[in-house]
Structure 1
Amino acid sequence: MFSKSDPLCVMYTQGMENKQWREFGRTEVIDNTLNPDFVRKFIVDYFFEEKQNLRFDLYDVDSKSPDLSKHDFLGQAFCTLGEIVGSPGSRLEKSLTIGAFSLNSRTGKPMPAVSNGSGLWMESLRTTGLEASGGVPGKKCGTIILSAEELSNCRDVATMQFCANKLDKKDFFGKSDPFLVFYRSNEDGTFTICHKTEVMKNTLNPVWQTFSIPVRALCNGDYDRTIKVEVYDWDRDGSHDFIGEFTTSYRELARGQSQFNIYEVVNPKKKMKKKKYVNSGTVTLLSFAVESECTFLDYIKGGTQINFTVAIDFTASNGNPSQSTSLHYMSPYQLNAYALALTAVGEIIQHYDSDKMFPALGFGAKLPPDGRVSHEFPLNGNQENPSCCGIDGILEAYHHSLRTVQLYGPTNFAPVVTHVARNAAEVQDGSQYSVLLIITDGVISDMAQTKEAIVNAAKLPMSIIIIGVGQAEFDGESPPPRCAPRGFRPLEMAPPKRVRARTAVCAAIWMSRQGVSVCLFAQGGVCQGVYRTPTHQGCGEEAPSHSSLLHPGSLWRVGEWHHGLEVRDSCDWAPPVSWPQFSHL
């Protein structure tokens, strides 16, 4: 009642075929302002020949809840990506309104959408004159300003640290609470915010924490482009006091700590009014370093080996292997669902493993001679060395196990996840990367334990691929665990209604410092995600050839069919950065 709004912007993209709105991403929350300038950017693919509909919803955040229905809806705007790109300077202004057709009749708020995201284009967001509309459809409630800029191919990440000395005192009962705001200059002479430092309380000589920022976000790969830095004194009510500003460039910053990187903080208004005014303090660059983000291919070229482990579901829900209705039925004429999935993924991954020896495990079966239930047994029967020679060796061991074990249950994933994590923890020098393929027909029985196992493995060089076969319910709606690292997403599987007659499975592998990447696929040929390098470098062909079709990083467009595999959605898994250190973002 006595403050302004705490706005948040949510961006949605619309499916080409079903026209369903899907959440692409959210900006940060900016406290107590009606004119927010959001720092967080959305990186999206731009296709000239397609109409790419976008929707932007603004909320006044009232709590820490991620549920948008818990917050006050401020308004929304619709446009296409082409509208933004084609506007003068690629800058578009749209009025925020309440769209009656998109509101929930019970809550008066927009209909929910499915979370998603990926991309290649960068957008910045700014809104002005936000106000509550009172839920009146069609009423204007502010303006949103959208701008777009094509990303360069620069993959460098700059890490830097700043300090300041003798800044102006702005607080009546104290000193100042300074923070820095970085802006990248645009082609039309305007500036786009790209980073904010943390606030340093009650000091005129702050030393800010080291931060990292992609060079393309800082200057879009143009080393001489102007970078403006503004210095503010933080105020609780959001009306931060301007202390001063200075300009620099990436090329100047790259010199590192020197006399060239000590900047005078100047307040233009003070300079005009006071003849004796010199500055409002100085800001000094303490350190500067640059690292290149590495792609999957960079690591492969550097000699990284893929350690492939397969885990197969031997629970009773698969049916009696001797009957043709069983998912484990071994027909003399064709491979069963498990063998198809194993072959499709394994034939791709095996080329990145020099010795072609792959551990193969089973779970959910009773083992001879005592009928003990195991969720981590070797298919070849060798507890000391569960490795099989090539994909043919895995298939042979799989067929042997079907004849010797009794299908039972339940469907527990945690033991095999822990098994692979234990091996991955032994080598973290960048020379090896572990991939666990789990093929299952049912819902996970030990979801809590599986989540915990994945969280515990979040810093390890490993990925998990889950392939769901059969007609069971594969929707994973459980929220992530409380202790999940940033970037963690709950396990999900392809719902059976999307399974097609044709079968093709693809493997996409990320080396991610945001946690274990869980790639989701379905038997029947429907891909649940588009997985690629951050900027599609080296793998951006529009129609991948048969040989590169299932390669990690291949670019597949939504709505296309490739070798019996339809691309339905995109995915926002973290790109592979700074591996093998595996520090969290």
Structure 2
Amino acid sequence: FQVIAEEIAGNNGYVELMFCAKKLDDKDLFSKSDPFLEIYRINDDESEQLVYRTEVVKNNLNPVWESFKVSLSSLCCCEEKRKLRCLVWDYDSRGKHDYIGEFYATFEEMQKALGGNKVQWDCMNPKYKARKRNYKNSGVVILTELKKLHRVYSFLDYIMGGCQIHFTVAIDFTASNGDPRNSCSLHYINPYQPNEYLKALISVGEICQDYDSDKKFSALGFGARIPPKYEVSHDFAINFDPSNDECEGIQGVVESYQSCLPKIQLYGPTNVAPIISKVAKLAAEEEKTKEASQYNILLIMTDGVVTDMGDTREAIVRASYLPMSIIIIGVGNADFTDMQILDGDDGILRSPKGEPVLRDIVQFVPFRDFKNASPAALAKCVLAEVPKQVVEYYSHKAFPPKCPRMDSPDSALSS
């Protein structure tokens, strides 16, 4: 998880800049210059890296280039005083562009445009300056607007800032899993070795519990008849304590599962939407705090056949607006087509009415593919999308970390 997080962390603030120029030298004989602007970052070894090239403005000595967005890491490695070399050219369709002039700038200078002020530089041609006694410049280039200065935080910023990850485990107790007394059942009660659900629960849960801040998992079940009235429930606490469905660590979930199984009747149908909606209610309460304080992850373990597909899609679309993600673990060898549809990797998931998810929040993992894999391989697959999903949510809501890290690389550039 640390590796995944570090891949996503980084200097990812960005700015929107808009440049224009005035009275550029005319390089064309029968028309006016067709100018474009290039910005290069000067590296520590004096090499130059192209950061951005504007579009060409045809036949115009006073061009206004379109605004553009560029990351601060690309622009200046998040060092405000790093030099930028900016060149203005007259475009030639054969690639032999005519040099008009250049100037040097820094992001520190550019920030003067934040208050709506215009910042300008003389566009200089060194050859003309050396030859012509009265040479002033080859025009001026003006930063008309530094439109926005965004600070996009990384996953590690949120975690280090105090955001807590809370896991809820939801286990499929529908009859399609098979009678637990039958050795072919995915829920088979075997005193000598764990069944398929326990194998998946332990393998995945031990990975997840390291990132659950208080090491407590909410543990729910769905699709079973439960005591005392043996009515079907699609969102019951497997410890049978509706006032406190949390278990101490993954071992607590395992113990509650083993204790629960003999007391319930596997039934159906396989309705997943109620579980998603239940966790979504908790996430909605969290959203009201308007802080990056807790992000919810629902870990659904199922044999794969969803009965309420329409309602489930609707619930996922609603949940995509909340601080939560869903990881679905496919147990057994069933057809997981429904799960792959919910994952949305092959296309944007939509509600039955056609409303798309705000963001992709579902990750499907068939456990059978990882029975013999290393814990690291399973961890990367199970948690691969979570850092990105956390950042996407809080960025969309414009919620900063509760306690931003002062040593974050681009903290000086925030606004």
Q: Please report the TM-score for the alignment, with normalisation by the length of structure 2.
A: 0.66
- Count the aligned residue pairs: 371
Return the match for 2:240 from 357, 360, 381. Answer: 381
Aligned to 2:347: 479
**Cα pair distance change 1:420/1:211, threshold 3 Å:** farther
Q: Distance in 1 between matches of 2:204 and 2:367?
A: 20
**Cα pair distance change 1:276/1:305, threshold 3 Å:** closer
Per chain length, whose mean CA-contact separation is higher, i.e. which structure has more relative contact order (CA < 8 Å, sep 6+)? 2
Alignment map for 1:425-436 (pairs within 5 Å): 425-428=284-287, 429-436=291-298
Q: Which runs of 5+ in 1 are unaligned?
A: 1-44, 46-116, 121-152, 171-176, 235-239, 507-525, 532-551, 553-569
**Cα pair distance change 1:456/1:205, threshold 3 Å:** farther
Q: Distance in 2 between matches of 1:404 and 1:305?
A: 33
Return the match for 2:322 from 460, 464, 474. Answer: 460
Pick the structure with more strand per residue. Answer: 1
Aligned to 1:408: 267
Q: Secondary structure at the match of 1:381?
A: coil
Is 1:574–2:381 an aligned residue pair?
no
Alignment map for 1:126-205 (pairs within 5 Å): 155-164=10-19, 182-185=39-42, 192-195=49-52
**Cα pair distance change 1:503/1:379, threshold 3 Å:** farther
Q: Secondary structure at the match of 1:282?
A: strand
Is 1:319–2:178 an aligned residue pair?
yes
Return the match for 2:71 from 171, 191, 213. Answer: 213
Return the match for 2:120 from 233, 256, 263. Answer: 263
Q: Distance in 2 between matches of 1:504 and 1:294?
A: 27
Is 1:361–2:220 an aligned residue pair?
yes
1:485 positional shift: 5.5
1:167 positional shift: 5.0
Q: Distance in 2 between matches of 1:471 and 1:304?
A: 36
**Cα pair distance change 1:412/1:222, threshold 3 Å:** same
Aligned to 1:127: none
Q: Distance in 1 between matches of 2:199 and 2:65?
A: 58
Conserved? CA contact 1:306–1:353, under 8 Å: yes
Deviation readout 1:293-312 (Å, 9 max, x if unpaired): 3343x444433332221100
Q: Secondary structure at the match of 2:286?
A: coil
Q: Distance in 2 between matches of 1:410 and 1:371?
A: 15
Q: Secondary structure at the match of 1:156?
A: coil
Q: Secondary structure at the match of 2:360?
A: coil
1:343 positional shift: 3.0
Q: Secondary structure at the match of 2:183?
A: coil
Q: Which amino acid aligns with 2:366?
A: A
**Cα pair distance change 1:184/1:354, threshold 3 Å:** closer
**Cα pair distance change 1:408/1:183, threshold 3 Å:** farther
Deviation readout 1:363-399 (Å, 9 max, x if unpaired): 2224456664433222233444433344344334323
Q: Please report the TM-score for the alignment, with normalisation by the length of structure 1.
A: 0.49
**Cα pair distance change 1:359/1:504, threshold 3 Å:** farther
1:320 positional shift: 0.5
Q: Distance in 2 between matches of 1:260 and 1:198?
A: 24
Pick the structure with more helix per residue. Answer: 2
Conserved? CA contact 1:179–1:233, under 8 Å: yes
Q: Which amino acid aligns with 1:527?
A: L
Deviation readout 1:213-268 (Å, 9 max, x if unpaired): 242x223456554434568999xxxxx99998654234444666489971237486
Structure 1 or 2, whichever has the larger Rg, is 2
Conserved? CA contact 2:317–2:358, under 8 Å: no
1:321 positional shift: 0.7
Conserved? CA contact 1:183–1:191, under 8 Å: yes
Aligned to 1:562: none
Aligned to 1:493: 365
Q: Which runs of 5+ in 2 are unaligned?
A: 27-33, 92-96, 399-415
Q: Secondary structure at the match of 2:388?
A: coil
Q: Distance in 2 between matches of 1:417 and 1:504?
A: 30
Q: Secondary structure at the match of 1:395?
A: helix
Alignment map for 1:497-576 (pairs within 5 Å): 498-500=369-371, 502=372, 527=378, 529=380, 574=388
Alignment map for 1:332-347 (pairs within 5 Å): 332-347=191-206
**Cα pair distance change 1:346/1:489, threshold 3 Å:** closer
